[in-house]
Amino acid sequence: MKLFYPEIFEKFQCTGSKCKDNCCKTDWDIEIDDDTYSFYKNLDGGIGKKLVDCVSDEDGCHYLARKDGRCPLLNDKGLCSLQLEYGEDKISDICREHPRFYEWFGNYKEAGVGLACEEAVRLLLSDDRPIKFFTKDIDEEPDDLEYDTIVFDPLLRVRGLLIDLLQGSGLTLREKLSAVLCTAGAIQYALDSEDYGKIKDVIKELSDPVGILAAVAYADISSASPNEAAKNILEYLKELDYMESALPQKIAEAESFAENTSPKSAEGGERAEYEKLAVYFIYRYFLKCARDFDVMSKVKTMIVIIFTARIINLSRGAEQSDRFDTVKEICKEIEYSADNMCKLSEDSYTDNIFYDENLIALLGWL
């Protein structure tokens, strides 16, 4: 099997108790895989009983219940008592792998590191170089998860060209993301109409500088107000479901900032950070449309998240560490929330604040 992955995947190491936002202290469900649960039940002594007593069953899955907002296995130093005693291979899959993620397409596998983790954000965004990707052979059996084999290879090619576009020079971030939005519209039309030959036309256009410039011209279609578009999106985001209050408060502050500031007068560079954020979302989510045939909601959600990070950081005049923290909070509270991502996906097709002209207006802040 072939494994495709970004450089950060092999560089990442959990910082454990040094992490300021330890995922073992986050109000997420901790699913325990069957093999790990069987190991728990066969443990002798107090730790085995403690583990089994803390596990609940829901819809055939096992979950480790939180105690006072933290994993009951954490010791007073913030370290996993189970891992310390029995080793990393005896903790649950999700604990061992987080924030790594994987995607399988037959005998092709992809891996990456999610940005709901402060160390992952630091590694990705503090590196000034373009994101590098690698391929290697691994000893793993092909997966049987269903996907459309006809569209997969063309979509893989499109994604590679979009990543090249985002990491290339000569265009503004606004132009790059406008071209991505334009491309997504063409791909979505091909998928909806089952005219997959049109995906090859997209590949041809993205491979040609003239074709790229035609897509970039999409940035000029909008007559919507950037301030109004920002207000509407930020109002929308305030109504999502959040675990903590930090991000909603930042969104509220950003809304006030956007109402009283012209995008043209907004100062602050760091656009390379947002380009990397775009590459992360395109890499992680674009190929999923080989299964669900939905590319538009993924691209629109990406634009909303990048805009939100940008406007919050502009409103706060944020230094690098604060900018990284904002990205982590957005990914933790929105990207890693199934409910929030589902709502964004559905509303991106029905709510006019997600219309292309309004999203392009948002890009004026970039």
Residue 194: partners with Cβ closer than 8 Å, 6 or more residues away: none
pLDDT bin (cut points 50, 70, 90) of residue 307 is very high
- Residue 171 included in any domain: yes
Do 24 and 70 reside in the same domain of the chain? yes
CB of 362 closer than 8 Å to CB of 303: yes
Do 212 and 343 reside in the same domain of the chain? yes
Mean confidence (pLDDT) of the chain:
89
| Residue 64 DSSP label | E
Claim: this prediction has a pTM higher than 0.75: yes
Do 81 and 129 reside in the same domain of the chain? no
Do 40 and 117 reside in the same domain of the chain? no
pLDDT over 90 at 107, yes or no = yes
Mind listing the pLDDT tens digit for each residue in 148-180? 999 999 999 999 999 999 999 788 899 999 999
DSSP alpha helices (H): ranges in 221-295? Answer: 226-238, 246-259, 271-285, 289-292
Do 89 and 229 reside in the same domain of the chain? no
- Residue 142 included in any domain: no
Do 7 and 34 reside in the same domain of the chain? no
- Residue 85 included in any domain: yes
Do 80 and 121 reside in the same domain of the chain? no
- Residue 42 included in any domain: yes
- Residue 160 included in any domain: yes
Mind listing the pLDDT tens digit for each residue in 79-91? 787 788 777 777 7
Q: Domain ends where: 113, 137, 161?
A: 137
Mind listing the pLDDT tens digit for each residue in 222-278? 678 999 999 999 999 999 999 888 999 999 999 999 998 988 766 666 789 999 999
Do 307 and 262 reside in the same domain of the chain? yes
Give the whole-angstrom CA distance, residue 308 versus residue 365: 10
Do 332 and 203 reside in the same domain of the chain? yes
CB of 364 closer than 8 Å to CB of 351: no
How far CA 156 is from CA of 103, 161, 197, in Å, comes to 13, 9, 14
Do 117 and 230 reside in the same domain of the chain? no
How far CA 38 is from CA of 43, 73, 83, in Å, comes to 9, 17, 16
Give the whole-angstrom CA distance, residue 32 versus residue 55: 8
Mind listing the pLDDT tens digit for each residue in 135-145? 999 999 988 89
Do 330 and 364 reside in the same domain of the chain? yes
- Residue 361 included in any domain: yes
Of 60-74, 153-167, 199-213, which range is least confident? 60-74
Do 125 and 151 reside in the same domain of the chain? no
Tokens linked to 70: 């933290």
Residue span of the structural domain in which 130 resides:
2-12+99-137
CB of 307 closer than 8 Å to CB of 365: yes
pLDDT over 90 at 317, yes or no = no
Number of separate domains in the chain: 3
